[in-house]
Structure 1
């Protein structure tokens, strides 16, 4: 599996452990316990529609935790395209183990592939207008952020802050208290090694953030025309900061924002609104 597209192994193990405990506590898989213990089967993970795959590591971990003797052979990797009928992987082993791991594996594959697929759609739409990268946000499912951000990478997007410790992002509520210049100064004094990112929703704030030496500007809730004006001003600065567009940007408008000249466009809907990709487990006749 491509390492750059994978979440940390520890995050995979932790998330799958929680999911399996949720599914099997307190008495285990009562239905699969009815099956003969020596009954062996082969099953295939098959996509029912189009998309981009993500979550292979989580599916593999689900089988490893249920029964490491089950053989799981992958035909795709995270980031690969899916069509209806694409075989993602083939599992061979005890039927009871395959059926016990099935739902946990499919939940992760469907959810994370949905995020990767949604991301790819935005990436392609943005590319029609310009070179802006598609960023995610912290609007993630609690406990699954590392997995969901990896799925964004699998879809061709890039990651915004992983958490509040990554860098400083001065938003409207911070700025309302200190003002941009004072807030940037405080950030430089307290956290001198961290990037300082400033939210701006007016051109005058862009001028102030540039003068204060911000490393990045979040241009929030502006039209593409307003964004282009801000980009022109920032590009004349002695040190052009990274420029992010955000706020209500849709598939219909993302190309126009990309054409405005920003470096990245953040979309909360990549992780909080993506539809699940339908993936099924087809068991061969015994």
Structure 2
């Protein structure tokens, strides 16, 4: 745990879990690109109409219930626009929001607060939307009483993956591989040129320290993958009944072995169906919908004084 520095004079209400934060370099880069998009070529033509000596205190306020994510992006946005602004936070990433919750305040020059406003809110609303969507999946899975975890996919917005995956963590989800170098995932298209056992054997030989995942559409493929030494099997586009059968078959195959292949259910899993998949006892459920179909959470900036 660590205290988050919010800028020149910013404060945070207690310790912040770094596990929920995206890499600082990714935050800085994303904010730089977003501000360049908003401020080139001539800057903020409207805010310069405001008197230069005007100051304000503004509140970041949730308009609807959800889960907060993206605080680091807001901090970075205001810092890049005007490092003299003071941010004070009441809530942190991962906190549950009610409609009307005050997330934090920003104090300083009205001009620069207004210049940074939309970029900061775009990040905060989008990432909180991802966290809120994730939490809905996690809550539905947990309600079954199973230990199944919900995690994401690589179906993310280009250039924002690290930020979206941090938002998934804020929502109580877990992260699948971040990129193609993270792990070896042998999918159906790879298997058009390779057998399952051959693919696992080659992967273990060439990249012995990498996790090997095999996508399987049938239980017989799963059996071959487990026997070949796969670390994880992705049960793709199966019904909950088929996943249950695979969970039972995998338990029979592996017995009390200390090394157990993880089982993941994937493929068109929605908020309406995630509980049925979690109830099968599968280890993990993945859904691209938690990132690529997340609606924004309505958050605004209200001028208090």
For structure 2, list consecutive stretches of 5 or more residues without a partner in the other structure.
1-15
SS at match of 1:178: coil
Q: Cα distance, 1:158 vs. partner? A: 0.2
Aligned position for 2:119: 104
Instruction: Check if 1:140 corresponds to 2:160.
Output: no
Aligned position for 1:256: 276
- The 8 Å contact of residues 270 and 289 in structure 2, kept in 1 or not, is answered as no
Give runs of ≥4 in structure 1 deviating > 6 Å: none
SS at match of 1:172: coil
Match of 1:204 among 220, 229, 234: 220
SS at match of 1:244: strand
Aligned position for 1:75: 90
- The 8 Å contact of residues 187 and 196 in structure 1, kept in 2 or not, is answered as yes
- The 8 Å contact of residues 234 and 240 in structure 1, kept in 2 or not, is answered as no
Instruction: Check if 1:44 corresponds to 2:54.
Output: no
Deviations 1:103-141 (A, max 9, x none): 010000000000000000000001122211000000000
Q: Cα distance, 1:250 vs. partner? A: 1.6
Residues 52-201 of structure 1 correspond to what in structure 2 (within 5 A)?
52-129=67-144, 130-201=146-217
Residues 243-282 of structure 1 correspond to what in structure 2 (within 5 A)?
243-282=263-302
When normalised by structure 1's length, the TM-score is 0.98
SS at match of 1:229: helix
- In 2, Cα distance between equivalents of 1:47 and 1:192: 47
- In 2, Cα distance between equivalents of 1:139 and 1:163: 11
- In 1, Cα distance between equivalents of 2:152 and 2:76: 25
- The 8 Å contact of residues 168 and 196 in structure 1, kept in 2 or not, is answered as yes
- In 2, Cα distance between equivalents of 1:188 and 1:208: 15
- The 8 Å contact of residues 54 and 113 in structure 1, kept in 2 or not, is answered as yes
Deviations 1:47-102 (A, max 9, x none): 10000000000001000000011101011000001111100111110000100000
Q: Cα distance, 1:284 vs. partner? A: 2.0
Number of aligned residues:
285
Aligned position for 1:213: 229
When normalised by structure 2's length, the TM-score is 0.92
Aligned position for 2:38: 23
- In 2, Cα distance between equivalents of 1:86 and 1:58: 19
Match of 2:247 among 223, 231, 242: 231
